[in-house]
Amino acid sequence: MKTLLLLLALSGPGGFQQALLTLTGASCVEELSEDEMQRYQSLAAHPVDLNAAGRSRLLATGLLTPYQVASLLDYRARTGDILSWTELALVDGFSAAFVEALREFAVLGVQDAVPGKREDLRFRQTLTLRGALRMDGQAAGGVKYEAALGERAAFYLSERNTLSEPAFGLPTVSAAYYGRRALGQLIVGHFNARFGQGLLQWSGFQLSGFGSLGAFRKNGTGFSPSGAHDALLFGVATDWHFGRWALSAGYSWTGNRAMLNLTRTWRSATAGLTATLEGVSLEARTARPDWSLWGEAAVRYNGEVSALAGAYYLPAYGHRIGLVGRWYGHADKRYSGAAAGYEGPSFAVTADAGWRTDTGAAQYKALLRWHPDFERWGVRIQPELRMLGRLRPSDGAPWRLELRGTLALERGPWLVSARYDAVHCRDFAWNWYAEGGWKTEKAALYLRGGIFKVDVWDDRIYVYERDAPGSFTVPARYGRGWNASLYGAWHLSRHHSLWLRLETVQYPWNLTAKESRTEVRLQYRYRM
């Protein structure tokens, strides 16, 4: 019966956006950062080989938890290559829904089908050129180069400016080598460091708050190279593996940050000790088929203490309950408190209560999300209802209530969707748009148009817009007006791809005069 359920789950429709939410734990795309979106877009273009990649390479992708990596490597050592996604879903720690999302960013290359076959070290490289132009004459551009040698080495180089920040900054550059034996990886240049639950060291993406069950626990994956334009760490990082022990050490000249971590892995548990120039922390986690526990305690050298502990429980297939409690020192400037939530196949709810340890300001939040996904008469139907409430008693407008309704219909290459947002905080604000699209493996075309009324900045509404890979567009709707956008993608051949985005935002009904905006973006990618 379980195998049948797996086959049904893995044969269903997928999609980049849904896979992104599943793997990141975000409740909507607007919660993601540009860094995280770029990382997943890069993985979608160059999927990791789950049968060839070593421990450090698998962790560096951020796709898998340390427990899943240990389970996957153990399975590979015992049985050889994984030959199908259905087989992967039977590996301990890999659910059918997780595997379905993973297919967007990973492949199952067969390494040992032929006796004596050598490791695949094919060299691949991608060059991306992008430019943007506004009708008022402002222009921006950028270049990004990525190269990889199988699953052994990677290199990233990027430089850009934006329409809002026309000056070019320093380029982002990162080179990584992944070993097979004691040396796990060596990174020179920009990198991310993610250890424990982020009480001492965590750079790169992290969800703000506890608006989704996936945000309750962070999956520390150590060091990883970064091609993001806003990478914070620049220096040298390395890790070493000695059986079930892993030693990671890194130094960033930016901010004069030194990091050291020692981790021990068991079959269903991990424990790690992290030390930085600010303090030390101890983290541990354990997992079973129907529950998992995790926690971290940190002590800074100035005497501040932070701690976090949580649990997940799976009462039935497709259902999960979570609980987390946390205490942050004054330096963290985050909300201490507790959060609880439930997540089912089509319904999720979370509630969070906390206070700032430095100011004493309290905050209470609750999120309900209903998102069934079914098919009728050959049409995939995806309605979603999302309600968010936030209370800050010390704020001038303590309540913020958000309601979002979305309906998407998909049949073959055609897609039609609509979304309505209503917000009440300082005033009442709303946003509506409709979109029609067509997508195949070779091309895609989407047309979107909407209107909005947001008179107060505190009531602003963020809306994710389709854009070329490497660009993350989430504008804040503010004012009274309308917007329209045209997005197109063409994969001209195996080597050449082209993206075009046209957008205009007009404010004919604004209370005060506000400048309209019209711009065009063009991106070209050469892949070899």
3-class secondary structure per residue, 392-437: CCCCCCCEEEEEEEEEEEEECCEEEEEEEEEEECCCEEEEEEEEEE
State both tokens at 243. Answer: 């059986």
State both tokens at 214. Answer: 């996936």
Q: How far, in Å, CA of 488 to CA of 444, rounded?
A: 6
Q: Tell me the residue type at 109.
A: G
Q: Tell me the residue type at 447.
A: L
Q: How confident is the model over 354-366, as pLDDT tens digits? A: 998 888 899 999 9
What value, to the nearest 5°, has the Cα angle with vertex 104 and ends 17 and 230? Answer: 65
How close are the terminal C-alpha atoms of the chain, in Å?
Answer: 44
Mean of pLDDT over the chain: 88
Q: How far, in Å, CA of 498 to CA of 57, rounded?
A: 30
Q: How far, in Å, CA of 140 to CA of 43, rounded?
A: 25
| Number of Cβ atoms within 10 Å of the Cβ of 87 | 16
**pLDDT of the residue at 199:** 92
Three-state DSSP at 101 gives helix
The whole-number average pLDDT for the span 275-304 is 93
The whole-number average pLDDT for the span 31-42 is 78
Q: Does residue 122 register a pLDDT over 50?
A: yes
Four-CA torsion 159, 164, 165, 167, nearest 10 degrees: 90
State both tokens at 106. Answer: 């990973």
Residue 111: pLDDT band (50, 70, 90) is: low
Q: Does residue 35 register a pLDDT over 80?
A: no
The whole-number average pLDDT for the span 166-175 is 87
State both tokens at 439. Answer: 């997508």
Whether the CB-CB separation of 265 and 74 falls below 8 Å is answered with no
Q: How confident is the model over 472-494, as pLDDT tens digits? A: 788 899 999 999 999 999 999 98
Q: How far, in Å, CA of 299 to CA of 189, rounded?
A: 29
Strand pairing report for 428-439 and 414-424: antiparallel
Q: How far, in Å, CA of 282 to CA of 364, rounded?
A: 29
Q: How confident is the model over 306-363, as pLDDT tens digits? A: 999 999 999 988 899 999 999 998 888 889 999 999 999 899 999 999 998 888 899 9
DSSP annotation of 62: S
- Look at the block and give the residue holding tokens 């408190």: 337
Four-CA torsion 217, 222, 224, 229, nearest 10 degrees: 60
6-20, 79-93, 468-482: segment of lowest average pLDDT? 6-20
Q: How far, in Å, CA of 388 to CA of 422, rounded?
A: 11
Helices 34-45/16-24 angle, 10° precision? 120
Strand pairing report for 48-49 and 106-107: parallel
State both tokens at 110. Answer: 């067969």
Q: Does residue 8 register a pLDDT over 70?
A: no
- Look at the block and give the residue holding tokens 């939040």: 365
223-237, 249-263, 377-391: segment of lowest average pLDDT? 223-237
**pLDDT of the residue at 32:** 78
**pLDDT of the residue at 527:** 86
